[in-house]
Amino acid sequence: MLELTMASVSGTDAGATAGMQMADAPSEPGAVLRVGRDRGVCRLATPDDWLFVSRVHLEFLCGPEGTWQVTWLRGSHDDPSSEVRFALVGGAQQTLPYGGTAKLPLGGAGELVILDRTGPRSVNVGFYQEA
């Protein structure tokens, strides 16, 4: 099982968890959870006017062994208007490259942060994968 929590935070709300959303999916091969602005395909959706987030920004996919990975999907622009940072609990934060993929450790937890390059807004996505 993969569990996700998401909070959209603007500069005026720093530290607040207003707009908290949650989603989960069983660790079955082919299971998918998406984060973005398109409410039709994303289980966790950001505000419609937050254009630094793509229609489908992050995709969590369960592989054949029941382990999860996250991909920052490439959009229609060569240069994104956001930055994605990835960190495991207790680990250093690192940048997830545009179009890049990171494996989530079994029994691990952490956070991905989508940062607006033009203003003090972010989307914080916490994850926990059961062992």
Q: Bigger pLDDT: 13 or 37? A: 37
Residue 28: the pLDDT is 95
pLDDT at 90 exceeding the cut of 90: no
pLDDT digit string, tens, across residues 99-128: 999 999 888 899 999 999 998 999 999 999
State pTM to two decimals: 0.92
Average pLDDT over residues 85-103: 93
CB distance 41 to 32 below 8 Å: no
CA angle 45, 110, 9 (to 5 degrees): 40
> Under the phi-then-psi rule, with left for phi > 0, alpha for psi from -120 to 50, and beta for the rest, what region is 76?
alpha
The per-residue pLDDT for range 16-48, each reduced to its tens digit, is 555 689 999 999 999 999 999 999 999 999 988
Length of the chain: 131
In the prediction, which pLDDT does 92 show?
87
pLDDT in the model for residue 15? 55
Burial (CB count within 10 angstroms: exposed 0-12, middle 13-18, buried 19+), residue 126:
middle
